[in-house]
A and B are shown apart, each in its own frame.
Chain A
Amino acid sequence: MMRGVLALSTFVSAILFPWPLTALLALVASVSEPLIPLAAGLFVDTLYYAPHAGMWPLFTLCGVAATAIAFFVHSRLLTSPVR
């Protein structure tokens, strides 16, 4: 339940609140759902990306990086004897 609320809050925050809060929520949600940063980054760029403002979709790239880190950490935790 909490995972769902956190994930949805990230998306709502992308529309209503400044991006640092969205980024924070995405990072917190990535602890349980590694795909959230990527989804949030893609969503933010979908909403606000303007081709003439910059060449790269920055939020999506940051989301990809955060998701990759989250998956790496998850994989290490899964193989760790401490679970």
Chain B
Amino acid sequence: MKRTFLARRNALLSSTNVSWGAFLLAFAVLVLLVRIFLPNMFWFAFTPAFRAADALAAKGDLFLSSFGDAAVLTARNELLQSQNAELASENEALQKRTGTLQSLSGSGIVAGVVARPPASPYDTLTLSAGAKEGVLIGMEAFGPGGVPLGVVSAVLPDFSRVTLLSAPALVTEGWVGHSNIPLTIVGAGGGALRASLARSTGVVVGDAVFAPGPGALPVGSVVRIDSDPSSPVVTLQIQPALNLFSITMVELRATGPTFVNALSWATSTLP
């Protein structure tokens, strides 16, 4: 008698009954639920996969680019190098600007220096801010660290001019030394300052010189004391705290009418 042999089949795992679409849809829903309710676990599980995908993409790009034309690649490389140099230069300029802005207090009008001597008249700075930005004649200009530099002597709509404290005959009432001895600081031209003081005050080389801002602000220090035995006064040669001709950004603030009066004496050498 012929027996018919029928293979036993698992009803649950029959290849004809398994719907891959339904299975993968259930898997996708499960992954979605994990992402919604257990996001940390989701990223922990899939981060290696994403990294592998990134690495694969990078290698693929490298592989495909190797088939490119050498001349085109060279031109592209040169272009990228040029752009890289431009970006590095721009980045350096921005960092320098950021550093300067941080050193300014930021409560006034910040302006860039457009021209400085010898491009501008000696002991003046031309600034990129003018009446449109609210600059007024008589505003005091401060450099990095809040060092007084000078006073606004002319204002145009987009530009303004600062007469530095070192301008010839610009008179500033200030102080010198730890005991704040009052003195009159006079601009000597070319970035130098000068003051005359009684011999008996005991000022020595290295004493700090202060000018009025909000309070007493350092403008420089005594570098030499010229003394004539026949004279009861000594002349202090003062070196500014900042190199007045290397400043790129200044801050302008209204500090009262002090400097407005001084300007009338100081403009004789200005155009």
Contact = CB atoms under 8 A, between A and B. Distances in A.
Interface of A: 1, 3-4, 7-8, 10-11, 15-16, 29, 33-36, 38-40, 42-43, 46-47
B21 interface: yes
A68 B35 CA distance: 26
Contacts of A10: 24
Interface string B24-59: 110111011001000000000010011011001000
A4 B53 CA distance: 22
Given A39-B27, A46-B31, A33 B46 contact: no
B35 A46 contact: yes
B5 interface: no
A35 B22 CA distance: 6
Q: SS class of chain A's interface: helix, strand, loop or mixed?
A: helix
Closest CB pairs A-B (n = 9): A35-B21, A33-B21, A39-B25, A7-B20, A39-B24, A42-B28, A43-B28, A46-B32, A39-B28
Contacts of A46: 28, 31-32, 35
A58 to B, nearest CB: 15
A78 to B, nearest CB: 15
Q: SS class of chain B's interface: helix, strand, loop or mixed?
A: helix
B201 interface: no
A36 B24 contact: yes
A16 B50 CA distance: 8
Nearest to A18: B57
Contact of A7 (B24, B31, B53, B56): B24
Nearest to A45: B32
B230 interface: no
Given A16-B56, A42-B29, A35 B24 contact: yes
B14 interface: no
A43 B30 CA distance: 10
Contact of B25 (A1, A3, A16, A35): A35
Given A39-B28, A46-B28, A46-B35, A15 B49 contact: yes
A16 B125 CA distance: 61
A23 B97 CA distance: 49
B61 to A, nearest CB: 12
Given A3-B20, A16-B53, A38-B25, 17 more contacts: A4-B20, A8-B20, A11-B24, A15-B46, A15-B52, A15-B53, A34-B21, A35-B21, A36-B20, A36-B24, A38-B21, A39-B24, A39-B27, A43-B31, A46-B28, A47-B31, A47-B46
